[in-house]
Amino acid sequence: MTEISPDWKSQNTSRMCFICGRDNPVGLHLHFYEDAASGQLVTPVTLSDEYQSYPGVAHGGILATILDEVSGRALNVGQEDEQFWVTAKLEMRYRKPTPTGVPLTAVGWVTRRRERTAEVAGEIRLPDGSVTAE
């Protein structure tokens, strides 16, 4: 798992968001950190069995949701004013099963930015750095 640097800025969260909402009783309560040096957004996550499909394997929809959030939020890395973006298209590649109960790292970054549209990417990584989903 990626170690969170004390130099990284923590992004804001909302109250009821499924991914970051502090008051959402069924949410993941993730924290997002900006690595300004790399331009990436990083979040540690360990998924419990409540988010599995097959025994011990995270559900692909949950992984897509996490990658949607971490890659979309990457658009705010290094920006003074937080902007809200919406996803127009989501393309996933599942490389190998993502285990539950294992510390993972979700990373997002911007690949192309225009005035009103952007392209972003993201990965879910195992502790050894191998990618399970992108």
Q: pLDDT by residue (tens digit) across 69-128?
A: 999 999 999 888 888 899 999 999 999 999 999 999 999 999 999 988 999 999 999 999
pTM of the model: 0.92
pLDDT class of 130 with cuts at 50, 70, 90: very high
- What is the predicted pLDDT for the residue at 122? 98
| Percent of the chain whose predicted confidence (pLDDT) is above 90 | 80
Q: Which two tokens stand for residue 111?
A: 């690949």
Q: Which of 95, 100, 53, 45 is nearest to 70 (CA)?
A: 45
Element housing 61 (H / E) = helix 60-73
In angstroms, rounded to a whole number, what is the distance separating the alpha carbons of residues 88 and 55? 32
pLDDT digits (tens, 9 = 90+) for 35-72: 988 999 999 999 999 999 999 999 999 999 999 999 99
pLDDT for 4: 76
Which residue type does 75 have? L
Laid out side by side, the sheet with 9-10 consists of: 9-10, 33-35, 40-45, 104-113, 118-125, 131-133
Q: How far apart are CA 112 and CA 115, in angstroms?
A: 10
Give the span between the Cα atoms of 6 and 10, in whole angstroms: 10
Whether 1 shows a pLDDT value over 70: the answer reads no
